[in-house]
Structure 1
Amino acid sequence: MKRPSKAILFIICTTLLVVSCSRKKDKFITRNFHAITAEFNTLYNGYNALEQGRENLNKSYTDNYWDVLPIERMQIFDEVVLPGQSKNEDFTRAEEKAVKAIQKHSMNIDGKEKNPQMDEAYLLLGKSRYFDQRFIPALEAFNYILYKYPASDKINQAKVWREKTNIRLNNDDLAIKNLKRLLYQEDLEGQDLADATSMLAQAYLNTKSVDSAITQLEIASNATKSNDERGRYRFIQGQLYNKLGKKDSANWVFDKVIELNRKTPRIYMISAHIEKIKNFDYENGNKLELTELLTELQENRENRPFLDKIYHQIAEYHLNNQSDSLAIAYYNKSLRTNSNDKLLKARNYEILGDMNFDKSIYKDAGKYYDSTLGNLVLNSKPYRVIKRKRDNLEDVIYYEAIAQVNDSILRLVNLSEVDRLAYFESLIEELKIQAKEEEEQKKREEAAQRNTGLVTVNNQIGGGLNPQGGTPNQANVFYFYNPTTVAYGKNEFIKIWGDRSLEDDWRWSSKLKSGSISSDVNDNDILASATKEELFDPQFYISKIPSEEKEIDSISKERNYAYYQLGLIYKEKFKEYELAKGKFQNLLKSNPEERLILPSKYNLYKIYEILGENDEAIIAKNEIIKNYPDSRYATILSSPELASERDENSPESIYEALYEQYENQEFDDVISKSENYINVFDGEAIVSKFELLKATAIGRLHGYDAYKKAVNYVAITYANTQEGIQAQNIETNILPKLINKDFVEDNDSITNNYKIIFKFENPEMEQISSFRETLDEVLKNIRYYDLKSSVDVYNPNTMLVIVHGLKNAQVAKAFDQLVIEEDKNKIKEPYFAIASANYQIVQIHKNLDAYLSTDNN
Structure 2
Amino acid sequence: MNCSRSLYMRAWLVGLMMCSGVLTVFGQNQAPDKPQKQEDRRPPSEKMAEKPFTFKRKVVQNTVTRYNYYYHAKLKLEAVLKGINQQRQDNYNVFLPFYPFTVEKLNLNSNDLDSVIQKASVAVQIHDPRGRWIDDCYLLVGKAYYYKGDWENAANTFKYINTTFAPKKKSEYNTVVGRSEDSRMSISTREKEKGMFSRLRHKSARNEAFLWQARVHLEQKQYDEAQSLLNILEGDPYFPKRLEGQLAELQAYRFYKQGRYAETIDPLIIAIKKGNSGRDQKARMSFILGQLYASQGILDSAMNAFRNVISYKPDATIDFNARVQIARCNTKANGGSMDESIAALQSMLRKERFIPFRDAIYYNMAALCANEQPERALDYLNKSLKIESANSLQKTLTFKGIADIYYSRKDYAAAQRYYDSTAAVMGPDFEEAALVNTRKEALGEVVQRTRLIRQEDSLQQIAAMPPALRDSLLAQQVTAIRTARTTPEKEKGRERGGAAANNPAFNNNFPNNSLAPKPDEGSGDWYFYNVGSKSSGYSEFKRRWGNRPLADNWRRSQGAAAAFNNNAPAPGTEAPADDVAANISQLPADSINTSVLAANLPVTPEKLAESRGKQMDTWFELGKLYHDKLEDPREAIASYDSLLERFPEHPRKAEILYSLYVWHNKLNHTQQANQYKQMVMTQFAGTNYANILQFGLPKDESKEKTNAVSAIYDTAYIAYLTGRYDTVFQLKKLADSSYGYSSLQPKWDLLEAMAIIKTQSDSAGKAAIAAIINKYPGEPAILNQANDIMEALNRKAEVTDYLSRLQLQRDSSETAIVDENISIRYPWQTPQPQFAADSAKIAQAQADSLAAANVPPPPPPPPVTPYRLGDEKTAVPHFVVMYFNRVSKVLVDEAVAQFSRYNAEKHAAEKLETSSFVLTPTEIMVIIRLFPDEEKALGYFDEAVRSAATVIIPRIKPTEYKFFIISRENFILLNNTKDINGYRKFFGDNYITE
Aligned twin of 1:46: 73
Contact 2:423 2:436 in 1 (8 A): no
Q: Distance in 2 between matches of 1:647 and 1:409?
A: 35
Does the residue aligned with 1:77 lie in a helix, a strand or coil? helix
Q: Which region of structure 1 is more displaced relative to structure 2, 140-149 or 570-579? A: 570-579
Question: Is the alpha carbon distance of 1:241 and 1:525 closer, same or farther for their aligned partners in structure 2, counting shifts above 3 Å?
Answer: same
Residue 284 of structure 2 corresponds to residue 232 of structure 1: yes
Between the aligned residues of both structures, percent identity stands at 20
Does the residue aligned with 1:320 lie in a helix, a strand or coil? coil
Aligned twin of 1:148: 165
Q: Distance in 2 between matches of 1:506 and 1:319?
A: 41
TM-score (normalised: structure 2): 0.44
Aligned twin of 1:330: 380
Question: Is the alpha carbon distance of 1:62 and 1:148 closer, same or farther for their aligned partners in structure 2, counting shifts above 3 Å?
Answer: same
Does the residue aligned with 1:65 lie in a helix, a strand or coil? coil
Contact 1:98 1:125 in 2 (8 A): yes
Instruction: Give the length in aligned residue pairs.
Output: 530
Q: 1:120 aligns with which of 117, 126, 136?
A: 136
Residue 517 of structure 2 corresponds to residue 432 of structure 1: no
Q: 1:524 aligns with which of 561, 569, 585?
A: 585
Q: 1:101 aligns with which of 114, 123, 145?
A: 123
Contact 2:688 2:698 in 1 (8 A): no
Q: How does 1:175-194 map to 2 (within 5 A)?
A: 175-182=226-233, 185-186=237-238, 188=240, 192-194=243-245
Question: Is the alpha carbon distance of 1:569 and 1:645 closer, same or farther for their aligned partners in structure 2, counting shifts above 3 Å?
Answer: same
Residue 145 of structure 2 corresponds to residue 129 of structure 1: yes
Contact 1:258 1:272 in 2 (8 A): yes
Contact 1:201 1:217 in 2 (8 A): yes
Q: How does 1:829-844 map to 2 (within 5 A)?
A: none
Q: CA deviation at 1:89?
A: 1.4
* 1:710-741 Cα distance to aligned partner (Å, 9 max, x none): xxxxxxxxxxxx999989xxxxxxxxxxxxxx
Contact 1:119 1:145 in 2 (8 A): yes
Q: CA deviation at 1:99?
A: 0.8
Does the residue aligned with 2:370 lie in a helix, a strand or coil? helix
Q: Distance in 2 between matches of 1:50 and 1:787?
A: 62
Q: How does 1:228-627 map to 2 (within 5 A)?
A: 228-260=280-312, 263-279=313-329, 280-281=331-332, 285-321=336-372, 323-334=373-384, 352-353=402-403, 355-357=405-407, 359-369=409-419, 383=434, 387=438, 391=442, 394=445, 397-404=448-455, 407=458, 411=462, 423-434=477-488, 507=571, 518=579, 520-526=581-587, 530=588, 535=589, 537=590, 540-546=592-598, 556-561=608-613, 574=634
Q: CA deviation at 1:182?
A: 4.2
Contact 1:204 1:210 in 2 (8 A): yes
Aligned twin of 1:781: none
Residue 90 of structure 2 corresponds to residue 90 of structure 1: no
* 1:444-492 Cα distance to aligned partner (Å, 9 max, x none): xxxxxxxxxxxxxxxxxxxxxxxxxxxxxxxxxxxxxxxxxxxx9x975
State the one-letter code of the partner of 2:61. H
Does the residue aligned with 1:285 lie in a helix, a strand or coil? coil
Contact 1:200 1:216 in 2 (8 A): yes
Q: CA deviation at 1:141?
A: 3.1
* 1:316-352 Cα distance to aligned partner (Å, 9 max, x none): 222233x222222333455566988888767655654
* 1:783-805 Cα distance to aligned partner (Å, 9 max, x none): xxx9999xxxxxxxxxxxxxxxx
Contact 1:570 1:577 in 2 (8 A): no
Does the residue aligned with 2:289 lie in a helix, a strand or coil? helix
Q: CA deviation at 1:548?
A: 9.7
Q: Distance in 2 between matches of 1:336 and 1:273?
A: 23
Contact 1:119 1:149 in 2 (8 A): no
Question: Is the alpha carbon distance of 1:64 and 1:570 closer, same or farther for their aligned partners in structure 2, counting shifts above 3 Å?
Answer: closer
Q: Distance in 2 between matches of 1:316 and 1:523?
A: 42
State the one-letter code of the partner of 1:94. V
Aligned twin of 1:644: 678
Q: CA deviation at 1:200?
A: 2.4
Aligned twin of 2:255: 204
Question: Is the alpha carbon distance of 1:54 and 1:169 closer, same or farther for their aligned partners in structure 2, counting shifts above 3 Å?
Answer: same
Q: Distance in 2 between matches of 1:135 and 1:643?
A: 56
Residue 276 of structure 2 corresponds to residue 222 of structure 1: no
Q: CA deviation at 1:37?
A: 2.2
Q: 1:35 aligns with which of 50, 62, 74?
A: 62
Q: How does 1:720-739 map to 2 (within 5 A)?
A: none
Q: Which has the higher contact order (CA 8 A, sep 6+)?
A: 1
Q: Distance in 2 between matches of 1:787 and 1:145?
A: 58
Does the residue aligned with 2:95 lie in a helix, a strand or coil? coil
Q: Distance in 1 between matches of 2:137 and 2:607?
A: 82
State the one-letter code of the partner of 1:202. Y
Contact 1:496 1:525 in 2 (8 A): no
Q: Distance in 2 between matches of 1:432 and 1:397?
A: 28
Contact 2:151 2:216 in 1 (8 A): yes
Q: How does 1:159-170 map to 2 (within 5 A)?
A: 159-170=210-221
Q: CA deviation at 1:208?
A: 5.1
Aligned twin of 1:26: 53
Question: Is the alpha carbon distance of 1:201 and 1:425 closer, same or farther for their aligned partners in structure 2, counting shifts above 3 Å?
Answer: same
Contact 1:369 1:390 in 2 (8 A): no
* Structure with the higher fraction of residues in helix conformation: 1
Contact 2:462 2:470 in 1 (8 A): no
Aligned twin of 1:684: none
Q: CA deviation at 1:231?
A: 0.6
State the one-letter code of the partner of 1:125. V
State the one-letter code of the partner of 2:684. S
Contact 2:154 2:216 in 1 (8 A): yes
Does the residue aligned with 1:264 lie in a helix, a strand or coil? coil
Q: Distance in 2 between matches of 1:377 and 1:265?
A: 25
State the one-letter code of the partner of 1:122. Y
Aligned twin of 2:246: 195
Q: Distance in 2 between matches of 1:327 and 1:167?
A: 41
Does the residue aligned with 1:116 lie in a helix, a strand or coil? coil
Q: CA deviation at 1:39?
A: 2.0
Q: Distance in 1 between matches of 2:572 and 2:376?
A: 42
Q: Distance in 2 between matches of 1:787 and 1:131?
A: 53
Q: CA deviation at 1:185?
A: 2.6
Q: Distance in 1 between matches of 2:258 and 2:230?
A: 15
Does the residue aligned with 1:545 lie in a helix, a strand or coil? helix
Contact 1:346 1:372 in 2 (8 A): yes
Q: Distance in 2 between matches of 1:358 and 1:383?
A: 18
* 1:674-731 Cα distance to aligned partner (Å, 9 max, x none): xxxxxxxxxxxxxxxxxx9xxxxxxxxxxxxxxxxxxxxxxxxxxxxx999989xxxx
The gaps in structure 2 that reach 5 residues or longer are: 1-43, 168-190, 192-201, 493-535, 546-568, 625-632, 665-673, 692-696, 706-734, 741-870, 875-934, 936-994
Q: CA deviation at 1:98?
A: 0.6
Q: Distance in 1 between matches of 2:261 and 2:310?
A: 23
Q: Distance in 2 between matches of 1:282 and 1:522?
A: 56
